[in-house]
Amino acid sequence: MKTAGANSIIILGGRAEYLRNGDIYYGYRQDSDFYYLSGFNEPDGVLVLCPGYEAGEHILFCRQADPKKIIWDGPMLGTEGVVRSLGFDVAYNIKEIDQRMPKLMAGREKILFKIGEDDVFDQRISHWMKSIEPNKWHKSPVPNELMSISHAIHDMRLYKSSDEIKCLKKSANLAAKAHVRMMQACRPGMYEYELQAEYIYQLTANQSCPSYPPIIGSGNNGCILHYINNDGLIQDGDLVLIDAGAEVDFYASDVTRTFPANGQFSVRQRDLYEVVLQAQLDAIDQVKLGKHWNDPHTAAVKTLSQGLLDLKLLKGSLDEVLEDKLYAQFYMHMTGHWLGLDVHDCGDYKVDDLWVELEEHMVLTIEPGLYIGEHANVPDGWKGMGIRIEDDVQVTKNGPVVLSDKAPKTIKEIEECMLGC
């Protein structure tokens, strides 16, 4: 409200329910911006912030608690519940929104909403504006300025409060437990989806769910960046790349570990793994106040390139490899993204064409990798190896804090973890 100004109104629509097939709906997940400002996790909510409004500045339109619906779907907060439990000043039945919203808008100069993100909601805003009744007390009855609220919310979400950090830590700890469980369950001859079952068990038994569809790729499947079929047979001698996070209290973790299916790295696997691990440590070392968004990526690319040269998987000088991006045939993605309520969280990466500076309370992933697919132009013994190591890292004034540090990461930690099962 401070950002918007006194004579404004902020309107934010929540997520609807979506049909999956037949009469069956997808599991409900509130929109992250809406949840961030409301804490409300039911469909059909509309949040209104009205600075100075006499009945209360924090208003929620929501479904009225309906005894008949409660018989089928269980408890709902309803208008009384959201005032009692979520701290809204006032709540109205969502069915009254067309009649009440023009009155809330009347006399305000500025409307802030997520312009252009939902055509139907845009039309409703326009309809409410047209329905404002002239009133001699309103200087300018119809607001004359429309502004997007998205950027202001996303800028707030970029800096995590201590409560948010606690949720992210819980989420990272749970993901780490799930990774340990999968490492310990893994045996050559299993299917990738059997490891997925171990992961889902660990999350479900802790009231959590995946923060994105997990990637469980053995052998060459580990080189497919967005592999989600997870239906391959895990063979003796394969590496298994698992990118799997948890969602805890709406906050995401995003963790990748790579380990040998049979519990012991081969010499080539070890050599390549050490390169990726060193690149990840060098990148994490850049997660410091005053560094810029791209510094971890630059550090990772340099270490990966030198490693590829040392292993004779690339030829030339380090400068050539960097200049001509020769590393890109084995490392084709960036080194991370913001993390929070969304796994690819909101927040600017560049401002005025400059990479943003890392500041306290930001959280990001660091996830370098090397992918030597079956068609790579290298000796056969290297083919079919995909390695990524991904951690969730908090920027603090004392340096990087790795939130996902409970997941085994060094070769020794991984081999000991797999042996100890």
CB 213 to ligand GLY: min, Å: 9
Backbone φ and ψ for 42, nearest 5 degrees, come out as -130, 155
Using the minimum distance from each CB to Mn ion, give the nearer residue, 254 or 282.
254
- Interaction of residue 391 with ligand GLY, rule CB under 6 A: no
390 part of the active site: yes
Q: At CA 171, angle to CA 386 and CA 366, rounded to 5?
A: 40
Instruction: Show Cβ contacts of residue 298 under 8 Å, excluding neighbours closer than 6 positions.
Output: 286
User: From the list Mn ion, ligand GLY, none, which binds 212 (C-beta under 5 to 8 Å, kind-based)?
Assistant: ligand GLY
Instruction: Tell me the C-alpha distance between 126 and 262, whole Å.
Output: 61
- Interaction of residue 392 with ligand GLY, rule CB under 6 A: no
Q: Are 165 and 363 in contact (CB under 8 A)?
A: yes
Residue 350: how many other CB atoms lie within 10 Å: 11
Lookup result for tokens 């391959």: 232
Q: Are 368 and 304 in contact (CB under 8 A)?
A: yes
Using the minimum distance from each CB to ligand GLY, give the nearer residue, 112 or 343.
343
Tell me how far CA of residue 41 lies from CA of 63, 88, 198, 419, in angstroms.
Answer: 12, 14, 28, 42
Q: Map residues 360-379 to x or -, x wherever contact with Mn ion holds by CB under 5 A.
A: -----x--------------
User: From the list Mn ion, ligand GLY, none, which binds 121 (C-beta under 5 to 8 Å, kind-based)?
Assistant: none
Instruction: Show Cβ contacts of residue 56 under 8 Å, excluding neighbours closer than 6 positions.
Output: 88, 89, 90
Instruction: Tell me the C-alpha distance between 6 and 4, whole Å.
Output: 7
- Interaction of residue 243 with ligand GLY, rule CB under 6 A: yes
- Interaction of residue 221 with Mn ion, rule CB under 5 A: no
User: From the list Mn ion, ligand GLY, none, which binds 32 (C-beta under 5 to 8 Å, kind-based)?
Assistant: none
Cα dihedral sign for 28, 365, 225, 277?
A: negative
- DSSP β-ladder status, 363-366 and 391-396: antiparallel
Instruction: Tell me the C-alpha distance between 2 and 10, whole Å.
Output: 11
Choose, from 20, 29, 84, 344, the residue flagged as catalytic. Answer: 344
254 part of the active site: yes
CB 336 to ligand GLY: min, Å: 8
Using the minimum distance from each CB to ligand GLY, give the nearer residue, 295 or 390.
390
Choose, from 42, 198, 247, 254, the residue flagged as catalytic. Answer: 254
Lookup result for tokens 């309107």: 11
Q: At CA 357, angle to CA 250 and CA 393, rounded to 5?
A: 40
- Interaction of residue 367 with ligand GLY, rule CB under 6 A: yes
- Interaction of residue 212 with ligand GLY, rule CB under 6 A: yes
Q: Are 8 and 112 in contact (CB under 8 A)?
A: yes
Using the minimum distance from each CB to Mn ion, give the nearer residue, 4 or 363.
363
Could you tell me where the beta strands, DSSP code E, fall in 246-336? 246-248, 251-252, 256-260
Using the minimum distance from each CB to ligand GLY, give the nearer residue, 121 or 212.
212
CB 290 to Mn ion: min, Å: 24
Using the minimum distance from each CB to Mn ion, give the nearer residue, 10 or 362.
362
Choose, from 31, 192, 295, 367, the residue flagged as catalytic. Answer: 367
Backbone φ and ψ for 266, nearest 5 degrees, come out as -80, 175
- Interaction of residue 392 with Mn ion, rule CB under 5 A: no
- Interaction of residue 254 with Mn ion, rule CB under 5 A: yes
CB 255 to ligand GLY: min, Å: 9
| Residue selected from 42, 254, 282, 391 as contacting ligand GLY according to rule CB under 6 A | 254
Residues found near Mn ion in the complex (CB under 5 A): 243, 254, 365, 390
Catalytic positions, written as ranges: 23, 226, 243, 254, 333, 337, 344, 367, 371, 388, 390
Residues found near ligand GLY in the complex (CB under 6 A): 212, 243, 254, 337, 343, 367, 390
